[in-house]
Structure formats: structure tokens, C-alpha cells
Amino acid sequence: MRLLDELRAGLGRLDDEALRRRRRSNALPCAPRATVDGRELTAFCSNDYLGLAGDPALAAALAEGASRWGAGSGASHLVSGHYAVHDELERALASFVGYDRALYFSTGYMANSGILPALAGRGDAIFADRLNHASLVDGMLLSRATVHRYPHADVAALERMLAGSAAPRKLIVTDAVFSMDGDVAPLAELLALAVRHDAWLVVDDAHGFGVLGPQGRGAVAEAGLDTHPEAWRIVLVGTLGKAAGVAGAFVAGHADVIEWLVQKTRTYIFTTGAPPALAHALLASLRLIEAGEARRQRLQSLIASFRTHTRLQRWRLLPSRTAIQPVLIGDNAEAVAVAGALFDAGLWVPAIRPPTVPAGTARLRVSLTAAHDETDVVRLAETLTRLERAGGGG
């Protein structure tokens, strides 16, 4: 039983460091109202930024997709699991974000972990923001390229690393909106560096797609880079399980880039095609996003309200203009205790600990959605302010 004892000891260490994660089962669909263990809560946990995941119109589109296309795809995309509705979705996504072509993936994790090994290999160099999402980190390790991690959003440090590299192929890789910090990458400066050093720029816009930019076209469009003469250097990833409210992801770019990815991306080739019913639902989601200005405005006004009403001294509300509003606490156990005290007050906010964030920067990750209302947000802000004054998680 030595093998099991090792795992038990490992779990005990997670408990000692307040790092054991527990799942909470919600008895209701994704929405600000949740029920966990019979308790009614207001949830600030989801990435459902436009409130589409539980939207009846989208659920109806999914049901319609299932009745038209059945439940499953039956095979991988390159064998026989690719359907007309997948093509239609890819064309709609590409034109929405302003690129030639897009490729639809089952998940963002698979998109990121697959495209980096397809674009770079042994001897090439990947330059990655230190706070990039785990799926990008895993993709770059799988690629076997030489990895240079630059300090968060530090374009001067990145420039020195690029200048010092003689690698034949260079990729700059970044989140567009950082998932645990909520800040937006300096995309225009990163593209300028990519041009100067003849590099690719891979941008993961998981949290900007649907939310930022005109019609929610994302962070690249917001920065005006979709029409940049060197936009072909950008390989844009968007995920479809967050603001889009369904599941999956896409990679958009120059037609030659996408064709290369179809040939070389193992997480695309060696997996069963995503159910075509999801593609049908995503076409409806895309129309809701495009027409979603009222939802985006509501979200912006909730963000402003949360920031106005949260007044902290020891903890810190990080600077963020996005739906991700992190409250930095520092210590793992204190972050867990504060999340517990909020939970007791009927407010469900996740405590985020290492390894998701760097050691010593445990935090609450408040995420706001267009489905919240003003009273939810003010209640959370005031409860946080009161808990801090009362001496933390108590």
C-alpha cells in the first residue's frame, strides 16, 4: 500500500497548506442565483460575463441543434466528424473577429495546448508572459521550444529577450485579459515587437471575446489591431464557454496559418469532433453577442459600482477595468477564511491560491456578469469592506 500512502501524505500536505480544493455542487443552472447544500447564494464565480449560459434563447438553440444534428459527431474532424454547421460557425467566427479563417476546438485548453507545439518546435523560441494561463504554459512545454518567460506585461524585458535570441522562429505568447488579475495585455506594443523581431504573436482572448471591443469582437479589435497591416502575425484564440455561454474555442488567423493548424495540431486531429449541436447553439450565441451592447453596458456599470463601493485598507482591489475584479489577500489560509465568511453571508466568491497564482498572492476572484444586479454588487462590496474592518475571515 506504499503507493496509496504516498498519495494520502500528499493530500495531508495540501490540507496543511490550505491548498486542498473542494468542489461545490450547484443545484441550479449557471446564474447569479445558486443553491449549494440547500443554501441560497449569490454567486460571483462564473465567467458567464454576458449572462448567456442560462439564457432561454440559447438553451432553445441548443435543443434545436440537438434535434437537427443529434447528440454526437461520431468521429474526429479529419475522418467524418466534421459537419456543415461546423463550417458555418467557423466562417461566422472568422468574419466576426476580422480574420480570413477560424478553426473550432472542443475546449480552450485543447486549442492552446495544441497550437503552440504546431507553431514551434525544438530550436525555436517562445516568449511568454509570466502570468499566462496554464493551458498556454502546457502548450509551450509540449512544443519543446526554448522558453523565455518575461515579467508580467514588461515589454522592455521582452524586447531584451527577443534581441538576445538567435532562434530561427520566435513566438510571443500572451493572455489578452489575464485570468486571475483582470488587466489587459499591451497588445499594440507586443505586435510592434513581433514586427520588429519578425515573430508570431499568439493572443489568448478567453476573457475579452464577447466583452471588449466593438460588438464584443475582443481585445485585439478593441486595440484596433485587427486591421493592422501586420495582423497576419496574430494568431487569435477565443474561448466559447465564457462570455459565449456554451463550450469550445476557436483559433482565428491568416488562412495559411489555419490550414497549417488543421494539418499539425494534435489536440484537433486526435479527438472526437465537438457535437455539431454545440456549433448550432454557438451561431445563436454569436448573434446575441453581436447585438449585446445593452449587456456589455450593464456589465461596465456594475464594474464601476463594485469599484466605488469597495473600500479596502489591508487587502487590495487590483486595478482592473474588466469583469474580473480580484481582491488580493496574500495568505492562503486568510483568503480561504474570507471566502468562507462571505459564503456564510450568502455570497459565493472563489479563493484562488497557488499554483493558480504566485505564492503569497492568494486572492478572491470576484467576477461580475450582466446577469447580476446593482444590489448584488453593492452587497458584496459592502460585506467585503465590513469583513476587512472586522479583522479578516474571523
Ligand X SMILES: *Cc1c(COP(=O)(O)O)cnc(C)c1O
The residues that are catalytic are 179, 207, 242
275 touches ligand X (CB under 6 A):
no
> x/- binding map, residues 232-271, to ligand X, per CB under 6 A?
-------x-x-------x----------------------
- In terms of CB distance, is 41 or 136 closer to ligand X? 136
Candidate list 26, 179, 305, 367; residue touching ligand X; CB under 6 A: 179
- In terms of CB distance, is 112 or 332 closer to ligand X? 112
Contacts (Cβ under 8 Å, ≥6 apart) of 98: 217, 221, 226, 227, 231
* Distance in angstroms (rounded) separating the CA atoms of residues 296 and 215: 9
Report whether 49 contacts 369 (CB < 8 A): yes
- In terms of CB distance, is 112 or 310 closer to ligand X? 112
* Distance in angstroms (rounded) separating the CA atoms of residues 19 and 220: 35
Candidate list 48, 129, 175, 376; residue touching ligand X; CB under 6 A: 175
Q: Which of 77, 134, 79 shows the shortest CA–CA distance to 357? A: 134
Name the DSSP class of 275.
P
Amino acid at 394: G
- In terms of CB distance, is 73 or 112 closer to ligand X? 112
State in angstroms the smallest separation of the CB of 206 from ligand X.
3
- Return the range that interacts with ligand X (CB under 6 A); candidates 19-27, 108-116, 166-174, 300-308: 108-116
- In terms of CB distance, is 176 or 277 closer to ligand X? 176
Q: According to DSSP H, which parts of the chain are helical?
A: 2-16, 56-69, 84-97, 108-119, 134-143, 155-163, 187-196, 219-222, 255-264, 266-269, 276-290, 293-309, 332-344, 374-389
112 touches ligand X (CB under 6 A):
yes
Which residue number places its CB atom closest to ligand X? 108
Pairing of strands 170-175, 125-129: parallel
Candidate list 26, 46, 107, 369; residue touching ligand X; CB under 6 A: 107
Q: Which of 64, 62, 101, 65 shows the shortest CA–CA distance to 83? A: 65
104 touches ligand X (CB under 6 A):
no
> x/- binding map, residues 117-156, to ligand X, per CB under 6 A?
----------------x-x---------------------
Angle between helices 84-97 and 276-290 (to 10 degrees): 30
Candidate list 206, 211, 219, 338; residue touching ligand X; CB under 6 A: 206
Q: Which residues bind ligand X (CB under 6 A)?
A: 107-109, 112, 133, 135, 175, 179, 204, 206-207, 239, 241, 249
